């Protein structure tokens, strides 16, 4: 299945204690269906000092959240939306787009394939 949420997307948290927060996706964990969103779901982590490398202390890091808890913030209509995937034949080229299920605009190109005529 094509990836519906990608690194660099802006998503809105729909569930949990951080509902309503918006942030940029900084990592996608495909196998777990989880993503890491900048400044969302921060947890404190105790880090030991490594001499000459880093200081010890308590750091805040983003913990992954499940992909079903977020919606993409559509760059076209600026609303949280579900993402669809559609394939369109344009000339000789088969293009796969991610699109917004709210405003029906294409968000970006996922893949394209040029049909070779025989």
Size of residue set near Zn ion by CB under 5 A: 6
Q: Is 82 in the site for Zn ion (CB under 5 A)?
A: no
- The radius of gyration of the chain's CA atoms, rounded to the nearest angstrom, is 19
Q: Is 29 in the site for Zn ion (CB under 5 A)?
A: no
- Contacts of range 110-115, beta carbons closer than 8 Å, 24 or more positions apart: 110/2, 110/3, 110/85, 111/2
Among 6, 21, 38, 102, interactor with Zn ion by CB under 5 A: 102
**What's the closest the beta carbon of residue 99 comes to Zn ion, in angstroms?**
8
Q: Which residues bind Zn ion (CB under 5 A)?
A: 74, 76-77, 100, 102-103
């Amino acid at each position: 299945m094509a990836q519906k949420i990608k690194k660099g997307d802006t998503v809105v948290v729909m569930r949990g204690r951080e509902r309503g927060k918006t942030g940029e996706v900084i990592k996608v964990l495909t196998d777990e269906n989880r993503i890491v969103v900048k400044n969302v779901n921060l947890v404190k982590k105790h880090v030991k000092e490594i001499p000459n490398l880093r200081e010890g202390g308590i750091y805040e890091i983003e913990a992954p959240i499940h992909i079903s808890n977020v919606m993409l913030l559509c760059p076209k209509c600026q609303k949280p939306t579900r993402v669809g995937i559609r394939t369109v034949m344009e000339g000789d080229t088969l293009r796969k787009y991610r699109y917004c299920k709210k405003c029906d605009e294409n968000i970006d190109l996922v893949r394209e394939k040029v049909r070779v005529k025989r």
